[in-house]
Amino acid sequence: MAATAEVPTLLELRQLRPELLRPLLQEETEVWLRDMLWDFRPSSELVRRFVGMQALNGHALCWREEVVGYAYFVCEEQKGLIGDLYVRAEVRTPEAEARLLEASVRTLLAMPHLRRVESQLMLMSRESQLALPFPDRARAFARDYMVAHLAGGEPLREDPRAAGARFELWSDAFTDQAAHLIAEGYRNHVDADINDQYRTVPGARRFLHNIVQYPGCGSFFQPASFACFDRSSGNMTGVCLTSLIAFDTGHVTQVCVHPGYRGLGLGYEMMRRSLAALRMAGCQHASLTVTSSNTGARSLYERIGFATRRVFNAMVWEL
Ligand SMILES: CC(C)(COP(=O)(O)OP(=O)(O)OC[C@H]1O[C@@H](n2cnc3c(N)ncnc32)[C@H](O)[C@@H]1OP(=O)(O)O)[C@@H](O)C(=O)NCCC(=O)NCCS
């Protein structure tokens, strides 16, 4: 890629025939499975379908007649979300990744109604994110992708401190209480800087709707998702929600305990039950993401067997 004539060109995704994306998506699917234990095929199928309908916004990096990189974004009310960014290993450089990121952020920030852009690009190299585009509006937060082996080993012991709580399998009827719990549980929390849906009850409701109904974070797995309640008041005191990201990998999409009930073993006990249910369902591994500075949550996860597999950045731009 040294010669000037060989600098990749940037095209709009809408100009692309979906077949041209096939080799790139094939490679990306292999990397997701190898590095993250995540089956990317449903997402890659959606990308190809939407590109085929000329309905996906974003850019492709083309080199020698081939698509070697792409990024796409979607808009949700006043927020833009960069959904994915991937450059093929053969041509991956910080410049190539930064060009795609810059193109998405520039397009989004130019939209008059947009106030905010969020992204969590797990496969993008962190070196490429050292100099963020539009740095005066940007913030980056390191996050850990953690994995626990479920097969073999001793099952986790029940925490007697949590014996006073009532645990129930997730039901959609819990959505409203869980939305209140999340908005309260993430008040002044770094994760509410990363995902603004955590800041309000309607936002948390949308977040719950997205993880239960849509496949972005795997397919929701109700048999390993729990809520817990205070026996005397009946109030919801915590939730632990899971999905399947591959036929043998579970993912904890949310764990939150009401601030007044922390340190009583509820987080541990819900996670223990979720991991046991995932294991029963044939999962070999479970994964989750956590903000690196959230040391309390990280120490809980480490205690139950999770270890960091990859560190990536969550990025936010605000007007
Ligand atoms: C992380 C969280 C779910 C833990 O739930 P919990 O019920 O307090 O956890 P447990 O009582 O089972 O375990 C507490 C452990 O977590 C850690 N911890 C984290 N936050 C804590 C808090 N506010 N109070 C007490 N312990 C806390 C401690 O290391 C503690 O270890 P110990 O049991 O050996 O003393 C809870 O703090 C929470 O909801 N935090 C806000 C939302 C959040 O950060 N979610 C995780 C996003 S990835």
pLDDT reading at 239 higher than 90 = yes
What is the distance between the terminal CA atoms of the chain, rounded to a whole angstrom? 35
Q: How far is the CA of 198 from the centre of ligand 1 (A)?
A: 17
Average pLDDT over residues 104-114: 96
Evaluate whether 216 touches 76 at the Cβ level (below 8 Å): no
Residue 2: the pLDDT is 46
Protein residues with CB under 6 Å of any ligand 1 atom: 185-186, 189, 191, 255-257, 262-268, 290, 294, 296-297, 299-300
Q: How confident is the model at residue 269 (pLDDT cuts 50, 70, 90)?
A: very high
pLDDT tens track for 207-238: 999 999 887 899 999 999 999 999 999 999 99
Average pLDDT over residues 168-175: 97
List beta partners, residue 70.
Answer: 60, 86
Q: How confident is the model at residue 258 (pLDDT cuts 50, 70, 90)?
A: very high
Strands (DSSP E) contained in 150-188 are 165-169
Residue 237 sits at φ, ψ, to 5 deg, of -115, -10
Q: How far is the CA of 222 from the centre of ligand 1 (A)?
A: 23
What domains can you pick out in the chain, each with its CATH number? 4-133 (3.40.630.30), 147-311 (3.40.630.30)
Residue 6: the pLDDT is 73
Q: How far is the CA of 216 from the centre of ligand 1 (A)?
A: 26
Question: Which run of H or E residues covers position 140?
Answer: strand 138-149
pLDDT reading at 4 higher than 70 = no
pLDDT tens track for 244-254: 999 999 999 99
Residue 154 makes CB contacts below 8 A (sequence gap 6+) with none
Average confidence score pLDDT of the chain: 95
Residue identifier of the C-alpha nearest atom 23 of ligand 1: 262
Residue identifier of the C-alpha nearest atom 34 of ligand 1: 300
Angle between helices 266-280 and 295-303 (to 10 degrees): 50
Q: How far is the CA of 214 from the centre of ligand 1 (A)?
A: 28
Evaluate whether 71 touches 85 at the Cβ level (below 8 Å): yes
pTM of structure: 0.94
